[in-house]
């Protein structure tokens, strides 16, 4: 499996880091990473991680400015893309097909090639404009997995909440995540 992970400049960049850690556990998964300039700033503001800490978890790291990178072409086969977190600017770019950086171009390529694109939009409250752009992205083929809280599975910590979100995203690619607790039903 070959996946692209995009980390955009929304709050919650730790979700992107946790996604990379989960994918690193998969021996047959090649991860291509794109980190936006806004995400770099958010890693500085929100975490103790360096961008290098994040990049070491990927197999290939691409500059967001490199529009000639392998992942900018549909002839470079991937199984899809995860944008986590996905800023409202990035949602708008995806919805409009405005590909002025590699993250947006990669999402556009995946959509045009019929590959799965999962976005994890981070903002609240959502304005009507945000909702319109998210709906447009979904209409064009994106799977929208907002990082919503869950309670049925004993997620009583931020770490468990993030594990649930990571598990829900990975389910979209048929990947089982060992820390995900699925609903088992009630008798």
Domains of the chain: 2-172 (3.40.50.1950)
- 116 labelled as ligand-binding? no
Find out whether 177 is annotated in a ligand binding site.
no
Using the Cα atoms of residue 116, residue 12, residue 53 and residue 50 in order, give the sign of their dihedral: positive
Quickly list H helices, 47-112: 51-55, 88-96, 102-112
pLDDT one-digit tens code per residue, 113-140: 999 999 999 999 999 999 999 999 999 9
Sort 128 into a burial class: Cβ within 10 Å, 0-12 / 13-18 / 19+.
Answer: exposed
**Residue 88 known to bind ligand:** yes
Q: What is the pLDDT of residues 54-111, one digit of tens each?
A: 999 999 999 999 999 999 999 999 999 999 999 999 999 999 999 999 999 999 999 9
For residue 10, say whether it is annotated as part of any ligand binding site.
Answer: yes
User: What is the arithmetic mean of pLDDT over 158-167?
Assistant: 96
**CA gap 90, 133 in Å, rounded:** 10
Determine if residue 9 is labeled as part of a ligand binding site. yes
Average pLDDT of span 141-170: 94
Answer yes or no: is 150 a known binding residue: no
- Which alpha helices (DSSP H) does the chain contain, by range? 13-24, 37-46, 51-55, 88-96, 102-112, 128-139, 158-171
What is the pLDDT, as a whole number, of residue 186? 83
Sheet containing 2-7: give its strands across. 60-62, 30-35, 2-7, 80-86, 116-121, 142-144
The verdict on whether residue 168 carries a ligand-binding annotation is: yes
**Residues whose CB falls within 8 Å of the CB of residue 79, separated by 6 or more in sequence, listed in order:** 1, 2, 3, 115, 116, 173
**36 annotated binding-site participant:** yes
81 is in an annotated binding site: no
- What tokens were used for 74? 């549909």
Q: What is the pTM of this model?
A: 0.96
CA angle 44, 46, 48 (to 5 degrees): 60
The Cβ of residue 94 has, within 10 Å, a number of other Cβ atoms equal to: 29
């Amino acid at each position: 499996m070959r996946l692209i992970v995009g980390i955009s400049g929304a709050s919650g960049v730790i979700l992107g880091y946790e996604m990379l850690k989960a994918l690193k556990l998969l021996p047959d998964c090649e991860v291509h990473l794109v980190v936006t300039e806004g995400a770099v700033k958010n890693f500085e503001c929100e975490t103790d991680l360096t961008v290098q800490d994040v990049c070491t978890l990927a197999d290939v790291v691409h500059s967001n400015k490199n529009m000639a990178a392998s992942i900018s072409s549909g002839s470079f086969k991937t199984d899809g893309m995860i944008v986590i977190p996905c800023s409202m600017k990035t949602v708008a770019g995806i919805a409009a097909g405005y590909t002025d950086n590699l993250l947006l171009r990669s999402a556009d390529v995946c959509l045009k090639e019929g590959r799965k694109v999962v976005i994890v939009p981070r903002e609240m409250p959502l304005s009507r404009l945000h909702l319109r752009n998210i709906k447009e992205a979904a209409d064009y083929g994106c799977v929208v997995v907002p990082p919503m809280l869950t309670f049925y599975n004993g997620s009583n910590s931020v770490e468990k909440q993030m594990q649930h979100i990571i598990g829900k995203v990975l389910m979209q690619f048929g990947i089982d995540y060992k820390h995900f607790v699925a609903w088992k039903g009630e008798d």
